[in-house]
Amino acid sequence: MVVKYVYFFAEGKAEGNKDMKNLLGGKGANLHEMTALGIPVPPGFTISTEACVFYFKNGTFPPGLKEEVEANVRKLEKITGKVFGSVDNPLLVSVRSGARASMPGMMDTILNLGLNDQAVIGLAKKTGDERFAYDSYRRFIQMFADVVMGIDRGLFEERLRSKKAEAGVREDFELKAKDLKELCDEYKDIVKKVSGNMFPQDPFEQLWMAIESVFKSWNNKRAIEYRKLNRIPDDWGTAVNVQTMVFGNMGFDSATGVAFTRDPSTGEKTVYGEYLTNAQGEDVVAGIRTPKKLKELSREMPEAYKELLEIFDLLEKHYKDMMDIEFTIEKGKVYLLQTRVGKRSARAEVKIAYDMANEGLISREEAILRVDPRRLEQLLHPMIDPKADKVFITKGLPASPGAASGKVIFDSDEAADLSEAGEAVILVRDETSPDDIRGMARSRGILTARGGMTSHAAVVARGIGKPCVVGAEEIEVDYDEGLFRIRNIVVKKGDIITIDGATGDVFLGKVPTIEPELFTEFNDLLKWADEIRWIGVRANADTPQDAQRARRFGAEGIGLCRTEHMFFEGERIYAVQEMIIAKNKEEREKGLSKLLPMQREDFKGIFTAMDGYPVTIRLLDPPLHEFVPKTREQMEDLAKRTNTPIQDIALKSEALREANPMLGHRGCRLGIVYPEITEMQARAIFEAACECTKEGIKAIPEIMIPIVSIKGEFDNQKAIIDRVAKEVMSEKGVEVAYSVGTMIELPRACMTADKIAQSAEFFSFGTNDLTQTTFGFSRDDIGKFLPKYIEMGILKEDPFQVLDQEGVGALVRIGIEKGRSSRSDLKVGICGEHGGEPSSVEFCHRVGMDYVSCSPFRVPIARLAAAQAVVKDRNKRKRLPH
Amino acid sequence: MVVKYVYFFAEGKAEGNKDMKNLLGGKGANLHEMTALGIPVPPGFTISTEACVFYFKNGTFPPGLKEEVEANVRKLEKITGKVFGSVDNPLLVSVRSGARASMPGMMDTILNLGLNDQAVIGLAKKTGDERFAYDSYRRFIQMFADVVMGIDRGLFEERLRSKKAEAGVREDFELKAKDLKELCDEYKDIVKKVSGNMFPQDPFEQLWMAIESVFKSWNNKRAIEYRKLNRIPDDWGTAVNVQTMVFGNMGFDSATGVAFTRDPSTGEKTVYGEYLTNAQGEDVVAGIRTPKKLKELSREMPEAYKELLEIFDLLEKHYKDMMDIEFTIEKGKVYLLQTRVGKRSARAEVKIAYDMANEGLISREEAILRVDPRRLEQLLHPMIDPKADKVFITKGLPASPGAASGKVIFDSDEAADLSEAGEAVILVRDETSPDDIRGMARSRGILTARGGMTSHAAVVARGIGKPCVVGAEEIEVDYDEGLFRIRNIVVKKGDIITIDGATGDVFLGKVPTIEPELFTEFNDLLKWADEIRWIGVRANADTPQDAQRARRFGAEGIGLCRTEHMFFEGERIYAVQEMIIAKNKEEREKGLSKLLPMQREDFKGIFTAMDGYPVTIRLLDPPLHEFVPKTREQMEDLAKRTNTPIQDIALKSEALREANPMLGHRGCRLGIVYPEITEMQARAIFEAACECTKEGIKAIPEIMIPIVSIKGEFDNQKAIIDRVAKEVMSEKGVEVAYSVGTMIELPRACMTADKIAQSAEFFSFGTNDLTQTTFGFSRDDIGKFLPKYIEMGILKEDPFQVLDQEGVGALVRIGIEKGRSSRSDLKVGICGEHGGEPSSVEFCHRVGMDYVSCSPFRVPIARLAAAQAVVKDRNKRKRLPH
């Protein structure tokens, strides 16, 4: 079998097209595509990646390649009328790498190949510009020696400096043709001296050396590193593009530049680009001269400008996307050297997708697929002003996006107090605990030295939408001294810092930020998404304020209202503690009766904000010791308040201590041992719902029992709830429809979901705890090994951020299947951190959940991801044979 | 449809049989069976449980019952020639309850029914004993009034006392016929006065009242309580047995007694029982007279004795079991009033099963089924002498069987030192940690105030076979004062106590114990079990001593050798700590290199003890902080030893602290972050194996990687082990066959077992941790809710003791199926606590495991349970239609 390795493109005809990226690389495929579109592209050919793969497998070029390349060079000569090495009209080419995936700057490029002692004369003759010809030759020798022959470019630059000194000039362009000609000879001498070989004069020899060099560059250190970072397989190989040279440096009717078909920053449909007249591509990159805005070209070269605009239009209509391009104008004639889909800001991504749909270029479904939901997050929080000056001091994990500045405060209560007094505060802690909630909620942002992306600080911060950087390991907090250290930098209490929760960066002082806006296109795109998606999107919200925010972001209900977060608000914690240190049921009920009206008011506020939408309320979940005082001081305070001997409090506190609180006495296990807690919470919910109903507000409570692993646990708690519901409704004389369901967050709940669903009216997968128990990972402790796992590739992603579909997902599937096997109309949702993570939302759609629930700030992300899941599903079905 | 409610038995013919327990109750069914066997049973009839169920459902006797009962009474009259209420030859009957399950003493019995003012004359006439007749009447009135009419029996006893005083006598039997006759009249007056009704004279009225009373007694408080405790359904109802009276109190040729067909304590085939001449059954129970040994009957009534022995023989041949009986001899004639399978000691259970198989009464398979493996445990440990005087002070959970006495010591090191100096010590702690291993291993027994049946203390104690009582919650330990309190009792350091790990009892002072022996019959029965069972039985053993013990108990290999337990032995902990506080890999390797020779020697010892049997060695499992010093004193000691600033040690210790150590940095997660630990352990194993091989010992190492949840984790560790294996074998010039497998102890490992089995050569289910993660229960913290769960029936049993087949078992099934789907010859075992629990062993057999592994002391239990699983399987198959 004869394998074809070389693909030709020229004059409106091409052997390849844009869909042949695997074979021709990204750059090559698009050169073929543009050529076929009739766009002016310097003619050339592409050596396929298969040739490269063969080369690495066998250590030699594949048989037949030589002949194919030579035949293609002959075709080039024929089309251009130029000849390789000709002393009259020499053919010059560029040799560029181009892999499947973009690897910018990682591999080699050689320009002006084909120049030799003869051809340089031809070039001078043809262009009538001897200086240009020898300048080109000089550049070629240096580039070839450096890139292909591995000779230190410093030697050539040294020579160039000497030459300028000899000529008494300062700048390269001040050198005369004679100087450059001498330089060429001197460069060739350097090559001879260092390599022991003459600089190759045969253009074919040059070409083969260049091709081999491009192949080898696939395995240079930079490229390997880049592939590792970007998870690009090592066995893809690179293609090689050999293309006739065009010159943007042939005078003031020549130019070179880059452009985007729309503004990549704002998405506006406007001309956006830069160019340099009389320059080569490398000059733009080198930044020696300041490029001009592309608009100026309309004045300088109106014809070329017009042609470019037409090409932009053609490209967008053809590629149906915003493109970036490299172009060269040689003596007034426009050439495109590259095109690809343009990178853009998140904001531009949304606007371009929306606009293109409205322009009829793409469908609404395509527009929805065009936006990466992961990137939306940056649109929903304040951002560091990219133009601002900043003093970077350290970096942690980007736990909750948004930027914030404020005074460093180490104590949560102090942070809360100062915040209430109007100060901007950043709470800095080693790590946070539920005790810190008040301080966290009041501060502008949170910075911790320890903890991972799903540590307490990170989870709470995302929930309440506060900027947060965690695990900034360089930080050593010294609470006693009231300062923290980063290497030799000392930041004292009261000093101002700025954190960027989107990057993990920490800066000294106040850095200006930009406020985000939910612009029209974004809103409208999400409305399209809402029309397409099947799966509902709810929010996790614990307060009336959160609930209102959730509605503004489009949540269709609350999927998780954590009642315990209410326990920390203000003076409530005192009533909670009173309840906990109670010696018997009566005392405990006394403490609970103080909490009842507070919880009821919260629920009323939430029902009101969610008027007509369901509110899933989870009963008390964390172990009681999270609420009891830890320091001697706090214990003394509690002792005084409750008139209890401090020893009793210390003893109680000790008795509540647990070896593994995550697996301890929490969730429904509390409500079973202390049914009065469940009673109080149920009463607060139903009293609130009844009162709302009387006021004309439609309250739809869904009561959720946490940490169920046994049907009997659920039945026990449901019986209490149903009894209290009956009592309250009869007291209030109002009927309120409600349902009772459970969190599914333990493997046993999944395995026995058929049993549990006999009693439970809905399931909400708590994938945070389910991930912890399925992997046996404590999310507070994974910092010691998870980063290593990801670095070593044992795990691709942090399973607390991206749902582990293989393991945890398999349990979720079993849970849903079993659950619906005994209750076909079982409502199923998710309320773990994953509910706002795009690939996890897609999974939830695929396994047939009814809704996802996530923090309010992630609601737009979930709405979009849910719509994408539907579109991808449809597209997949279209591709399947019928 | 006419329902039959009454079943007749008399003269060798019976309408029922022993398999009709559901209908006739246990007692009734056996009366029918014995009658049909030709054993002399006083004729009678049984009213079925269905009649009782009807009565409770409808509040009336079922239609037709009246006629059926009357017809059966007429049959009785015909057969006996006696007539109900006859003044010449009256028919007297007993009316007794009898449910499906034995409920001793919970329900009612009425004797001598049928006596009235006429019949008593007939009885006197017939027996020629007026005194006897009126004594019987007097007893009947009192019993009937008390049981049926609810009249306080105290009133009658008061009258009896007065009568004795009037007659000037002290004992009942000194009363004359005249006195008794008067007493009957006075008793009837009491009845009239209290109830307002005459004492019923119509025998049929008496009978119906008695039957109704027996029915009602099914729902008396005692019976309900008993059923609740023994989980007997409330809707079974009781049968009623109406039977002709026979009298053991008709003179010195009459007697009454109870007997066992073999010695229920030792199992010896010897006459065992007691009797009283001239007495009724209630006299034996009342304990007024001391009964005689049954052997004496051979002298007193040789004929009757001979007949009894023949009946014993007949019963055993028929029932094929050791039976207990109640008998009465009336004027030399033997009657059996009851028989049932006799209760027996664990020792007797084994011996009787073994003997009966040898006698050909039952097959070996049946013999194996006859022994409850749960009861064997008491045969394998020293026991409290039941005859000893003891001062009980408190009770905890029976964590590890066996009894032990010794001085109370609170500090583990002190306990170890004193023990080594020859003192008997009981280690008393709030709870234990791995630090305490040395003290635990050296002490005679362990007592803790906290923790459940699977707390650290309990698990370790069972593993090393030490008596242990945990969770004795009344105990308040005061380490500072060196004492513990139980209510107002103070036990000081050095005081002697005795603990009974089989019951949880704690006694003051030294209580004598009995040493167990592994008697021949037990050994032989286990050998039969070995022939029958399919599944292998291994032991969990961490030291050469444990390994030897395991072999003695019949283990066929080691299923779990925990390398970390070795780390606490003697000075080793210093090397371990050195390794942990190391600042870099080099320092860590220095610490490890000190451990290497120690571990190697251990492994050599274990391989030697297990010569030719496989040894599964688990690599380091617990989190490192378990090994670091906790107190200031210990830290200072370590600082001095290692020449490290104490602050560094404190910092390291703090850095190792984890929120949920159970889900933290442990198992293979350690070996991945610190590969040098895995390397050292692998090296120690292979060096030991190679050296053993050279010495002619067959070492079969199976290396087990703990806490795997991702295939990549396993692959990472296996690569290290394989590399080290190659290195060591090449160094030593010996080849040793080995395999590398993994613990399956996390739900994710089960769900992805197909992936993991691509690399792993064996699976060992770690059902302790799998239960923790599946339920989300920390076994150190379940004390706060699990007892409540069991009390409320939310869980039937502690899932850490009895494998939860529904949830955890379902994951195990998935794990095995998936594992074998990618490696069909995958070896599968279990090494959790469940490996020695009979119902769990049965489960392991059913799901197709290759072996179970448990603590050495449980090996015999597992051997038997494994054989029972096979037999039950076969029997089930026999019962299935072909």
Q: What is the pLDDT of residue B463?
A: 67
Out of B778, B792, B811, name the one closest to residue A660 (CB).
B778
Distance from CA of B667 to the nearest CA of A (A): 11
Out of A709, A755, A777, name the one closest to residue B776 (CB).
A709
Contacts of A752 in chain B (CB under 8 A): 806-807, 810
Q: Given an 8 Å threshold on Cβ–Cβ distance, is B751 in contact with A664?
A: no
Q: Which of A683-697, B249-263, B481-495 has the highest mean pLDDT?
A: A683-697
Residue spans of beta strands (DSSP E) within A526-610: 536-540, 558-562
Contacts of A747 in chain B (CB under 8 A): 747, 773-774, 807, 811
Contacts with B, A 451-470, CB within 8 Å: none
Provide the residue type at B288 as one letter: I
| Residue A463 banded pLDDT, cuts 50, 70, 90 | low
| Residue B461 banded pLDDT, cuts 50, 70, 90 | confident
Q: What is the pLDDT of residue A454?
A: 62
Phi and psi at A480, nearest 5°, equal -65, -45
Three-class secondary structure of residue A760 per DSSP: coil
SS (HEC) of B43-105: CEEEECHHHHHHHHHHCCCCCCHHHHHHHHHHHHHHHHCCECCCCCCECCEEEEEEECCCCCC
d(CA B59, CA B54): 8
Q: Which residue of A745, A772, A784, A791 to mutate against B (max B Cβ within 10 Å)?
A: A784
**Of residues B597, B26, B640, the one with CA closest to residue B319:** B26
Looking at residues B351-377, what average pLDDT do you find? 94
- B753-812 pLDDT per residue, tens: 999 999 999 999 999 999 999 999 998 888 889 988 988 889 999 999 999 999 999 999
Residues in chain B: 882
A-chain residue closest to B804, CA distance? A748
- A105-160 pLDDT per residue, tens: 667 789 999 999 999 999 999 888 999 999 999 999 999 999 999 999 899 999 99
Point out the least confidently predicted range of A39-43, A458-462, B328-332. A458-462
| H or E element, residue A851 | strand A851-854
Q: What is the pLDDT of residue B609?
A: 95
Point out the least confidently predicted range of A568-572, A619-623, A720-724, B526-530. A568-572
- B191-223 pLDDT per residue, tens: 999 999 999 999 999 999 999 999 999 988 888
Contacts with A, B 179-198, CB within 8 Å: none
| pLDDT above 70 coverage of chain A, percent | 97
Out of B712, B769, B776, name the one closest to residue A793 (CB).
B712
Out of B662, B672, B707, name the one closest to residue A788 (CB).
B672
Contacts with A, B 783-812, CB within 8 Å: 784-785, 788-789, 792-795, 804, 806-808, 810-811
Residue A698 scores a pLDDT above 60 = yes
| Residue B517 banded pLDDT, cuts 50, 70, 90 | low
Contacts of B789 in chain A (CB under 8 A): 672, 710, 712-713
| Residue B319 banded pLDDT, cuts 50, 70, 90 | very high
Q: What is the pLDDT of residue B284?
A: 63
Provide the residue type at A405 as one letter: S
pTM of the model: 0.81
Point out the least confidently predicted range of A225-234, A253-262, A616-625, B38-47. A225-234
Phi and psi at A642, nearest 5°, equal -100, 0
The reply to whether A719 touches chain B by the CB within 8 Å rule is no
d(CA B226, CA B231): 8
B-chain residue closest to A712, CA distance? B794
Q: Given an 8 Å threshold on Cβ–Cβ distance, is B776 in contact with A716?
A: no
Q: What is the pLDDT of residue A285?
A: 57
Q: Which residue has the higher pLDDT, B694 or B575?
A: B694
Distance from CA of A814 to the nearest CA of B (A): 11
| Residue B279 banded pLDDT, cuts 50, 70, 90 | confident
Q: Which residue of B656, B773, B779, B803 to mutate against A (max A Cβ within 10 Å)?
A: B773
| Residue A328 banded pLDDT, cuts 50, 70, 90 | very high
Out of B716, B748, B795, name the one closest to residue A794 (CB).
B716
Out of A663, A673, A794, name the one closest to residue B778 (CB).
A663
Q: Given an 8 Å threshold on Cβ–Cβ distance, is B709 in contact with A769?
A: no
Contacts of A751 in chain B (CB under 8 A): 774, 806-807, 810-811
Contacts with A, B 746-765, CB within 8 Å: 746-748, 751-752, 755
| Average pLDDT of chain A to the nearest whole number | 91
Residue B38 scores a pLDDT above 70 = yes
The reply to whether B1 touches chain A by the CB within 8 Å rule is no
Q: What is the pLDDT of residue A630?
A: 76
Contacts with B, A 595-654, CB within 8 Å: none
d(CA B156, CA B154): 5
Question: Do residues A598 and A688 touch, judged by C-beta distance below 8 A?
Answer: no
d(CA A846, CA A842): 6
Q: Given an 8 Å threshold on Cβ–Cβ distance, is A778 in contact with B808?
A: no
Given the residues B381, B456, B565, B834, the one annotated as active site: B456
d(CA A232, CA B137): 103
Q: Given an 8 Å threshold on Cβ–Cβ distance, is B784 in contact with A747?
A: no
Please report the number of interchain residue pairs, chain A to chain B, with beta-carbon separation below 8 angstroms.
177
Q: What is the pLDDT of residue A265?
A: 79
Q: Which residue has the higher pLDDT, A220 or A825?
A: A825
Point out the least confidently predicted range of A387-396, A699-708, B311-320, B445-454. B445-454
Q: What is the pLDDT of residue A284?
A: 63
The label of the residue with tokens 């340099």 reads A276
The reply to whether A657 touches chain B by the CB within 8 Å rule is no
Provide the residue type at A616 as one letter: T
Q: Given an 8 Å threshold on Cβ–Cβ distance, is A748 in contact with B807?
A: yes
Contacts of A775 in chain B (CB under 8 A): 709-710, 746, 748
- B594-614 pLDDT per residue, tens: 999 999 999 999 999 999 999
Q: Is B692 a catalytic residue?
A: no
Contacts with B, A 721-750, CB within 8 Å: 745-748
Distance from CA of A786 to the nearest CA of B (A): 9
Q: What is the pLDDT of residue B239?
A: 95
Contacts of B712 in chain A (CB under 8 A): 789, 792-795
Q: What is the pLDDT of residue B840?
A: 96
Given the residues B52, B668, B831, B854, the one annotated as active site: B831
The reply to whether A780 touches chain B by the CB within 8 Å rule is yes
Residue B577 scores a pLDDT above 70 = yes
Residue A462 scores a pLDDT above 80 = no
Looking at residues A215-220, what average pLDDT do you find? 90
Q: What is the pLDDT of residue B106?
A: 66
Question: Do residues B561 and B606 touch, judged by C-beta distance below 8 A?
Answer: yes
Contacts of B748 in chain A (CB under 8 A): 774-776, 804, 807-808
| Residue A199 banded pLDDT, cuts 50, 70, 90 | very high
Structure tokens at B251: 């003179």
The reply to whether B705 touches chain A by the CB within 8 Å rule is no
Looking at residues A618-625, what average pLDDT do you find? 91
SS (HEC) of B691-713: HHHHCCCCCEEEEEECCCCCHHH
- B66-78 pLDDT per residue, tens: 999 999 999 999 9
Q: Residue A157 contacts by C-beta under 8 Å, 6 or more apart in sequence?
A: none
| pLDDT above 70 coverage of chain B, percent | 97
Question: Do residues A227 and A221 touch, judged by C-beta distance below 8 A?
Answer: no
Contacts with A, B 302-341, CB within 8 Å: none
Residue B719 scores a pLDDT above 70 = yes
Structure tokens at A538: 């709810």
Instruction: Return the DSSP state at B304.
Output: H
The catalytic site residues of A sit at: 456, 831
Q: What is the pLDDT of residue B795?
A: 94
A461: exposed, middle or buried (Cβ count in 10 Å: 0-12, 13-18, 19+): buried
Q: Which residue has the higher pLDDT, B594 or B726?
A: B726
Out of B709, B780, B784, name the one closest to residue A776 (CB).
B709
Question: Do residues B657 and B650 touch, judged by C-beta distance below 8 A?
Answer: no
| Average pLDDT of chain B to the nearest whole number | 91
A19: exposed, middle or buried (Cβ count in 10 Å: 0-12, 13-18, 19+): exposed
Q: What is the pLDDT of residue A487?
A: 87
